Amino acid sequence: MGNKPSSLPVLVIEPYPMTNDPLHTQRQYWRNVERQRPTNIVIPAHGQESVWDYPRPPQVESVAEELRVIFAGATLAETLRGLRVLETASAPVYYFPPRDVRTGFLRRMVHTTLCEWKGLATYWNVDLRGRRQEAVGWCYETPGEGYEQLEGYFAFYAGVVDGCYLGSERVEPQPGDYYGGWVASNIVGPFKGVPGSDHW
């Protein structure tokens, strides 16, 4: 999950071996895909984090900084109660509790994707001040075991809004057309999503 999706990722069941629960089969497949580490991992400076020190399976933790999303010149989401998900090779993904999101301007899409850990993600459009953006963000309405904290929380693509902020810093979107991590100055990569990173 990252920059504005040029073509939205599609939930594909085939060609993975089928069972009576194809979503379970697909989750198990992706959980066991062999991952590689690149040779050009950046050594973090004091006060920085390397995404290569993040865990897999991913972990959820609270965020001390204020999080903010600006769209069409207005605040779409703002919170001091945010969460972030940390996963090997990816920039942190930040989640907003629904009470801190202007959900009245969001419209659910039919589109979904599957995370092998967090479950099915539903995607949302935004219509605000005469501007519309498809797939501005997503949420896990029924997250998988171990990720119940994320239930109903919203995450937003930094590349399709006016700006996303971690504290006072405007972040950059994680590379690629799929990943939704926020790249701030306190993290170093390389980040999954760059060309050649399919198996990181």
Distance of CA 144 to CAs 29, 51, 56, 84, 126, Å?
16, 23, 15, 16, 26
Separation CA 105–CA 80 (nearest Å) = 21
Q: How confident is the model at residue 177 (pLDDT cuts 50, 70, 90)?
A: confident
**Helical spans, DSSP H, in the chain:** 22-31
| 95, β-bridge pairs | 83
Separation CA 194–CA 199 (nearest Å) = 11
Percent of the chain scoring above 70 in pLDDT? 88
Please check the confidence at residue 187 and state whether its pLDDT lies above 60. yes
In this prediction, residues 96-105 reach a mean pLDDT of 98
- Domain holding 63, by residue range, is 22-34+50-188
**Which value, in Å, is the radius of gyration of the alpha carbons in the chain?**
16
Q: Determine, yes or no, domain membership for 114.
A: yes
Q: Is the Cβ–Cβ distance between 187 and 93 less than 8 Å?
A: no
Q: Determine, yes or no, domain membership for 71.
A: yes
CATH of the domain at 103: 2.170.150.40
Q: Determine, yes or no, domain membership for 138.
A: yes
Number of domain units in the chain: 1
